[in-house]
Structure 1
Amino acid sequence: MKGEFHAPDLDKEFFPGHVTDSGEVVNMLFTDFANGWFAMDRIVLIRLLMTAVVVVFFLWAMRKPKLVPHGVQNFAEYALDFVRIHIAEDILGKKEGRRFLPILATIFFAALLMNLATIIPGLNISSNSRIAFPIVMAVAGYIAFIYAGSKRYGFFKYVKSSVVIPNIPPALHVLVVPIEFFSTFILRPVTLALRLMANFLAGHIILVLLFSATNFFFFQFNGWTAMSGVTILMAVLFTVYEIIVIFLQAYIFALLVAVYIELSLHADSH
């Protein structure tokens, strides 16, 4: 049972496109097409796959909608009702909740399916563990809450209402206005993207380390074989925990976007 330990190499997943001495670009597809503009690595392929799964699922579920849903349509409507009732309407009320339901549902299901890839055998990583897609969803939420405030108050009045707190000493505005501006218009989208990315990057690294430790303890066979049972059990338990995080992070992301939209709709109510 003697073996050899191979340290996990994350560079191939998170920093693809390494060029060898012979000029070959490794771990990338379509590098020769259109001068590499459409080159893809494994995470991009997973992202495209999970996007296709979301789109195909809802097109299939709603292809022939019936007044009394059943089967796949019933499941799809239940999922949409969860976002409508527990995110959109809970935070924004019925009128505004229905108005912003499309963007909130899109963000929720996109985040959920991208997260789900982390526990699917053969994929084993969420594309949200790299910052690109979390930034896209954060920008979508950013545009949504700025639009909501601008539509209600006008852009400049909305910005003023968001950063100027009434009934405080005038001298404090010099300090408070930059803090409010930074918090509202810079920190919100940044924290949305970083929170999602960091959770799944950390989760992926922990799972890689646990399964690598299992490989090490099992194959080295130097009195530590029993430890492989401990590490594989921890890996399984952490995978179960990841299932909870998969849903929770999608919910939190969509919920925070709804909260930011609500704050924009009532920007003058500090």
Structure 2
Amino acid sequence: MRWVHPTREAGVDPLTYASAVLLAADDNQFHPPSIGDFFPPALFFEGTAFEFTRINLAQVIATVVLVLVLLIGTRRLKVVPGRFQSVIELFFGFVREQVAYQVLGEKDGKRFLPILTTMFFGILFMNLTGIIPGINIAGTAVAGVPLMLALVAYVVFIYAGIRKHGGLRFLKNSLVPSGVPVYLVPIIALVELISTFIARPVSLFLRLLLNMIVGHMMLVLFFSATHFFLLSMNWLTPFAIGTFGLSFAFTLFETFVYVLQAYVFTILTAVYIQLAVAEEH
């Protein structure tokens, strides 16, 4: 008697059979986070330049909610503010006092307050989509938004420096600090060129992007582990209590990180503007 593989007897390709078995068994497997989370399938316009994914949906939702919050919160301002107006004023006051005025002073702070406020609220609301059920990924977790914001900060501080000093003097102040010996000027100028005009925007971009990527992967790790332990239905199931507790704690921590990253990006932009408008470095 000769043993015949069931797939051959049924006329089924063995590779197709193996794939089906693996997919069926995959339901109770642990699914770790991967870089593929940041390349979700298209929801609309797949394969075109206008491809729309779940991350794009998160960005649109964050933008719409931000506009609505600001419109509702500032539409009917009262001398004695209600709770909602108080919260809005608290955040506006925070950016004005703790970022713009503290770093730039009142005069320059007023000039650049609109762009700094826009940055802070935009980053904050984009970040917060990372903990919203059903979306679960930050709008700043892909390169597009952090890169755009870094380029805006780059253009703003260069514009501020040129507007204040003129192009040649701004370059001199940026590349050659006062008191540098003549024989060190070429080396110092090269170092300042890299640190001022390359490292600043790159560091803004990478700091925001990588924090959002790591935060998302950690949240997915804890929640995936909870899901796996719950479905295991064996001695591993009690571990779900611990991983769920870690999930909740890390969600609170990530909320703090989201606010912190919005603040850090905004205050660094203000610092770069202040360095650009300063008389000497």
Kept in 2: contact 1:92–1:258 (CA 8 A): yes
Tell me the alpha carbon deviations over residues 166-213 of structure 1, each in whole angstroms, 9 at most, x when there is no partner: 222222122111110110011101110110111110011011111111
1:71–1:230 distance in 2 versus 1, CA, 3 Å: closer
Q: Does 1:135 align with 2:162?
A: no
Tell me the alpha carbon deviations over residues 119-144 of structure 1, each in whole angstroms, 9 at most, x when there is no partner: 11111111111111011111111111
Letter in 2 for 1:7: H
Aligned residue number for residue 204 of structure 1: 216
Highest Rg: 1 or 2? 2
Question: Which ranges of structure 2 fall in alignment gaps of 5 or more residues?
Answer: 1-24
After TM superposition, give the deviation of residue 40 of structure 1 in Å: 0.6
| Number of residue equivalences | 256
Calculate the TM-score normalised by the size of structure 1. Answer: 0.88
Which of 24, 31, 35 aligns to 1:7? It is 31
Q: Does 1:269 align with 2:280?
A: yes
Kept in 1: contact 2:178–2:280 (CA 8 A): no
Q: Does 1:191 align with 2:203?
A: yes
Q: Does 1:78 align with 2:90?
A: yes
SS at match of 2:162: helix
SS at match of 1:62: helix
Aligned residue number for residue 45 of structure 1: 57
Alignment of 1:84-233 (within 5 A): 84-233=96-245
Q: Distance in 2 between matches of 1:262 and 1:269?
A: 11
Kept in 1: contact 2:33–2:220 (CA 8 A): no
SS at match of 1:29: strand
Q: Distance in 1 between matches of 2:43 and 2:225?
A: 31
Tell me the alpha carbon deviations over residues 39-82 of structure 1, each in whole angstroms, 9 at most, x when there is no partner: 21000110011011111211222223344443433332222111
1:214–1:152 distance in 2 versus 1, CA, 3 Å: same
After TM superposition, give the deviation of residue 10 of structure 1 in Å: 4.2
Letter in 2 for 1:44: N
Instruction: Tell me whether 60-69 or 44-53 shows the greater mean CA deviation.
Output: 60-69
Kept in 1: contact 2:33–2:221 (CA 8 A): no
Instruction: Tell me whether 206-215 or 184-193 shows the greater mean CA deviation.
Output: 206-215
Q: Distance in 2 between matches of 1:231 and 1:239?
A: 12
After TM superposition, give the deviation of residue 4 of structure 1 in Å: 1.2
Question: Which ranges of structure 1 fall in alignment gaps of 5 or more residues?
Answer: 17-26
Q: Does 1:31 align with 2:42?
A: no
After TM superposition, give the deviation of residue 11 of structure 1 in Å: 5.3
SS at match of 1:128: coil
Letter in 2 for 1:191: S
Aligned residue number for residue 266 of structure 2: 254
Kept in 1: contact 2:99–2:270 (CA 8 A): yes
